[in-house]
Structure 1
Amino acid sequence: MEDEEVIKTMTVSITRGNTIRITSVKIISFSNINNTWDSEFSDSDTNRLADVFFNLRKQKPDSKQGGLSFQNWFKSEVKENQGDLTWDLSSKNLYLNPEFALQFSMADDDGGVAQDIMLGPLF
Protein backbone atom coordinates (compact mmCIF):
# COMPACT_ATOMS: atom_id res chain seq x y z
CA MET A 1 0.00 0.00 0.00
CA GLU A 2 1.54 3.25 -1.12
CA ASP A 3 -0.13 5.64 1.35
CA GLU A 4 0.44 3.50 4.41
CA GLU A 5 2.32 5.24 7.23
CA VAL A 6 4.62 3.10 9.34
CA ILE A 7 5.85 4.38 12.70
CA LYS A 8 8.86 2.78 14.30
CA THR A 9 10.26 3.54 17.72
CA MET A 10 13.66 2.80 19.15
CA THR A 11 14.84 3.05 22.73
CA VAL A 12 18.49 3.91 23.36
CA SER A 13 20.11 3.56 26.76
CA ILE A 14 23.34 5.46 27.37
CA THR A 15 25.50 4.54 30.32
CA ARG A 16 28.04 7.09 31.50
CA GLY A 17 30.59 4.46 32.51
CA ASN A 18 33.47 5.39 34.80
CA THR A 19 32.87 9.10 35.16
CA ILE A 20 32.70 11.54 38.02
CA ARG A 21 29.64 13.74 38.28
CA ILE A 22 30.12 17.24 39.67
CA THR A 23 26.98 18.05 41.65
CA SER A 24 28.11 21.10 43.63
CA VAL A 25 30.99 23.49 44.15
CA LYS A 26 31.69 25.34 47.38
CA ILE A 27 34.40 27.97 47.57
CA ILE A 28 35.73 28.11 51.10
CA SER A 29 38.33 30.82 50.74
CA PHE A 30 40.30 32.89 48.26
CA SER A 31 42.88 35.66 48.39
CA ASN A 32 41.52 38.84 50.01
CA ILE A 33 38.18 37.24 50.90
CA ASN A 34 35.88 39.59 52.87
CA ASN A 35 37.99 42.57 51.81
CA THR A 36 37.83 45.14 49.04
CA TRP A 37 37.84 43.94 45.45
CA ASP A 38 35.96 46.91 44.02
CA SER A 39 37.82 49.97 45.29
CA GLU A 40 35.20 52.39 43.97
CA PHE A 41 33.11 51.46 47.04
CA SER A 42 33.85 52.46 50.64
CA ASP A 43 35.19 49.99 53.19
CA SER A 44 31.75 49.73 54.80
CA ASP A 45 29.82 49.10 51.53
CA THR A 46 29.13 45.42 50.76
CA ASN A 47 29.48 46.20 47.03
CA ARG A 48 33.26 46.29 47.60
CA LEU A 49 33.25 42.49 47.92
CA ALA A 50 34.00 40.21 44.99
CA ASP A 51 31.20 39.17 42.61
CA VAL A 52 32.40 35.58 42.35
CA PHE A 53 32.03 33.10 39.52
CA PHE A 54 34.04 30.08 38.47
CA ASN A 55 34.86 28.46 35.17
CA LEU A 56 35.59 24.83 34.36
CA ARG A 57 37.60 23.76 31.33
CA LYS A 58 38.13 20.17 30.31
CA GLN A 59 40.16 18.35 27.73
CA LYS A 60 38.48 17.51 24.47
CA PRO A 61 39.82 16.04 21.23
CA ASP A 62 41.24 18.74 18.99
CA SER A 63 40.86 17.77 15.35
CA LYS A 64 42.77 20.83 14.08
CA GLN A 65 45.85 20.43 16.29
CA GLY A 66 45.60 16.71 16.93
CA GLY A 67 45.57 15.33 20.45
CA LEU A 68 43.70 17.08 23.25
CA SER A 69 43.19 20.72 24.15
CA PHE A 70 41.35 22.54 26.94
CA GLN A 71 38.00 24.07 26.06
CA ASN A 72 35.48 25.98 28.14
CA TRP A 73 32.97 23.55 29.57
CA PHE A 74 30.97 25.33 32.25
CA LYS A 75 30.74 28.87 33.62
CA SER A 76 28.81 29.39 36.83
CA GLU A 77 26.36 32.10 37.69
CA VAL A 78 27.81 35.11 39.52
CA LYS A 79 27.37 35.31 43.29
CA GLU A 80 27.25 39.05 43.94
CA ASN A 81 29.11 40.55 46.89
CA GLN A 82 30.49 37.16 47.90
CA GLY A 83 27.01 35.83 48.51
CA ASP A 84 26.57 32.17 49.36
CA LEU A 85 29.64 30.69 47.68
CA THR A 86 27.96 27.33 47.08
CA TRP A 87 26.61 26.37 43.66
CA ASP A 88 24.13 23.49 43.24
CA LEU A 89 25.04 21.85 39.93
CA SER A 90 22.93 18.71 40.31
CA SER A 91 20.72 19.63 37.34
CA LYS A 92 23.67 20.39 35.02
CA ASN A 93 24.80 16.82 34.16
CA LEU A 94 28.49 17.66 34.49
CA TYR A 95 30.29 14.35 33.94
CA LEU A 96 34.06 14.13 33.87
CA ASN A 97 36.33 11.27 32.90
CA PRO A 98 38.80 11.01 35.82
CA GLU A 99 41.59 10.14 33.39
CA PHE A 100 41.47 13.65 31.91
CA ALA A 101 42.54 16.89 33.56
CA LEU A 102 40.11 19.58 34.66
CA GLN A 103 41.03 23.26 34.90
CA PHE A 104 39.30 25.41 37.53
CA SER A 105 39.48 29.18 37.74
CA MET A 106 37.49 31.78 39.65
CA ALA A 107 37.20 35.49 39.28
CA ASP A 108 35.53 38.72 40.37
CA ASP A 109 33.04 39.87 37.72
CA ASP A 110 33.14 43.62 37.18
CA GLY A 111 30.56 43.95 34.43
CA GLY A 112 32.25 42.05 31.64
CA VAL A 113 35.77 42.43 33.04
CA ALA A 114 37.05 39.71 35.34
CA GLN A 115 39.81 39.85 37.94
CA ASP A 116 41.55 36.60 38.85
CA ILE A 117 40.81 36.06 42.53
CA MET A 118 43.16 33.09 42.72
CA LEU A 119 46.09 35.51 42.18
CA GLY A 120 48.31 32.97 40.60
CA PRO A 121 48.87 30.97 37.49
CA LEU A 122 45.58 30.36 35.77
CA PHE A 123 43.80 27.11 36.53
Structure 2
Amino acid sequence: MNITKKTTLPFIGISAAVVGALQVLLYEPLIAIAQAQFGGVPLRLIMEILLTTAAHTAIISIAPLFLAAFNKVAISYAVLILFISIYIQIAVGINPVGPTVAAIVCSVLIFYASTKVSELIRHFRAK
Protein backbone atom coordinates (compact mmCIF):
# COMPACT_ATOMS: atom_id res chain seq x y z
CA MET A 1 0.00 0.00 0.00
CA ASN A 2 1.22 3.48 -0.82
CA ILE A 3 2.60 5.54 2.08
CA THR A 4 0.12 8.34 1.34
CA LYS A 5 -2.77 5.88 1.58
CA LYS A 6 -1.42 4.55 4.87
CA THR A 7 -1.36 8.03 6.37
CA THR A 8 -4.68 9.25 4.96
CA LEU A 9 -6.95 6.28 5.68
CA PRO A 10 -6.92 6.81 9.48
CA PHE A 11 -8.10 10.41 8.98
CA ILE A 12 -11.08 9.28 6.95
CA GLY A 13 -11.84 6.48 9.41
CA ILE A 14 -11.67 8.69 12.49
CA SER A 15 -13.79 11.46 11.00
CA ALA A 16 -16.32 8.97 9.58
CA ALA A 17 -16.68 7.25 12.95
CA VAL A 18 -17.23 10.50 14.86
CA VAL A 19 -19.59 11.99 12.28
CA GLY A 20 -21.50 8.71 11.90
CA ALA A 21 -22.00 8.36 15.64
CA LEU A 22 -23.20 11.95 15.94
CA GLN A 23 -25.57 11.60 12.99
CA VAL A 24 -27.10 8.44 14.45
CA LEU A 25 -27.59 10.28 17.75
CA LEU A 26 -29.12 13.27 15.98
CA TYR A 27 -31.45 11.09 13.89
CA GLU A 28 -32.39 8.81 16.80
CA PRO A 29 -35.83 10.39 17.36
CA LEU A 30 -36.66 10.12 13.66
CA ILE A 31 -35.49 6.50 13.62
CA ALA A 32 -37.70 5.70 16.63
CA ILE A 33 -40.72 7.38 15.02
CA ALA A 34 -40.12 5.56 11.73
CA GLN A 35 -39.79 2.22 13.51
CA ALA A 36 -43.03 2.79 15.39
CA GLN A 37 -44.86 3.99 12.31
CA PHE A 38 -43.58 1.63 9.63
CA GLY A 39 -42.23 -1.29 11.65
CA GLY A 40 -38.70 -0.60 10.40
CA VAL A 41 -36.44 2.16 9.17
CA PRO A 42 -37.29 3.34 5.64
CA LEU A 43 -34.55 3.26 3.03
CA ARG A 44 -34.94 6.99 2.42
CA LEU A 45 -34.02 7.78 6.04
CA ILE A 46 -31.04 5.43 5.92
CA MET A 47 -29.81 7.04 2.71
CA GLU A 48 -30.24 10.51 4.21
CA ILE A 49 -28.13 9.54 7.23
CA LEU A 50 -25.44 7.97 5.03
CA LEU A 51 -25.28 10.91 2.62
CA THR A 52 -25.13 13.41 5.48
CA THR A 53 -22.38 11.38 7.12
CA ALA A 54 -20.39 11.15 3.88
CA ALA A 55 -20.72 14.87 3.12
CA HIS A 56 -19.77 15.98 6.63
CA THR A 57 -16.87 13.51 6.74
CA ALA A 58 -15.53 14.92 3.49
CA ILE A 59 -15.82 18.48 4.75
CA ILE A 60 -14.11 17.71 8.06
CA SER A 61 -11.23 15.74 6.57
CA ILE A 62 -10.25 17.96 3.62
CA ALA A 63 -7.62 20.06 5.41
CA PRO A 64 -6.09 17.17 7.41
CA LEU A 65 -5.84 15.06 4.26
CA PHE A 66 -4.19 17.94 2.44
CA LEU A 67 -1.64 18.32 5.25
CA ALA A 68 -1.04 14.56 5.37
CA ALA A 69 -0.31 14.54 1.66
CA PHE A 70 2.62 16.87 2.38
CA ASN A 71 3.91 14.63 5.23
CA LYS A 72 2.70 16.93 8.02
CA VAL A 73 1.11 14.03 9.89
CA ALA A 74 1.32 15.39 13.44
CA ILE A 75 -0.11 18.74 12.40
CA SER A 76 -2.85 17.05 10.41
CA TYR A 77 -3.94 15.00 13.44
CA ALA A 78 -4.11 18.20 15.49
CA VAL A 79 -6.16 19.90 12.77
CA LEU A 80 -8.44 16.86 12.51
CA ILE A 81 -9.08 16.87 16.26
CA LEU A 82 -9.75 20.61 16.15
CA PHE A 83 -12.17 20.27 13.20
CA ILE A 84 -13.97 17.39 14.91
CA SER A 85 -14.42 19.48 18.05
CA ILE A 86 -15.76 22.37 15.97
CA TYR A 87 -18.14 19.95 14.23
CA ILE A 88 -19.35 18.64 17.58
CA GLN A 89 -20.00 22.20 18.70
CA ILE A 90 -21.96 23.01 15.55
CA ALA A 91 -23.92 19.76 15.38
CA VAL A 92 -24.69 19.04 19.02
CA GLY A 93 -24.09 22.27 20.89
CA ILE A 94 -21.44 20.95 23.26
CA ASN A 95 -18.38 23.21 23.32
CA PRO A 96 -15.22 21.06 23.30
CA VAL A 97 -13.18 23.57 21.27
CA GLY A 98 -11.57 25.29 24.26
CA PRO A 99 -10.38 22.11 25.95
CA THR A 100 -9.22 20.74 22.60
CA VAL A 101 -7.11 23.81 21.87
CA ALA A 102 -5.73 23.68 25.41
CA ALA A 103 -4.83 20.00 25.01
CA ILE A 104 -3.10 20.67 21.68
CA VAL A 105 -1.11 23.57 23.18
CA CYS A 106 -0.15 21.48 26.21
CA SER A 107 1.00 18.61 24.01
CA VAL A 108 3.12 20.98 21.92
CA LEU A 109 4.68 22.45 25.07
CA ILE A 110 5.37 18.97 26.46
CA PHE A 111 7.00 17.95 23.19
CA TYR A 112 9.12 21.11 23.15
CA ALA A 113 10.17 20.63 26.77
CA SER A 114 11.06 16.97 26.24
CA THR A 115 13.24 17.77 23.23
CA LYS A 116 15.03 20.51 25.16
CA VAL A 117 15.59 18.18 28.12
CA SER A 118 16.99 15.47 25.84
CA GLU A 119 19.31 18.01 24.21
CA LEU A 120 20.47 19.14 27.65
CA ILE A 121 21.13 15.54 28.72
CA ARG A 122 23.15 14.91 25.55
CA HIS A 123 25.11 18.09 26.18
CA PHE A 124 26.06 17.05 29.72
CA ARG A 125 26.92 13.50 28.62
CA ALA A 126 29.22 14.85 25.96
CA LYS A 127 31.22 16.83 28.54
Question: Do both proteins adopt the same fold according to a TM-score greater than 0.5, normalized to the shorter chain?
Answer: no
Bigger relative contact order, structure 1 or 2 (CA pairs below 8 A, ≥6 apart): 1
- Structure with the higher strand share, 1 or 2: 1
TM-score, with normalisation over the residues of structure 2? 0.28
- Structure with the higher helix share, 1 or 2: 2
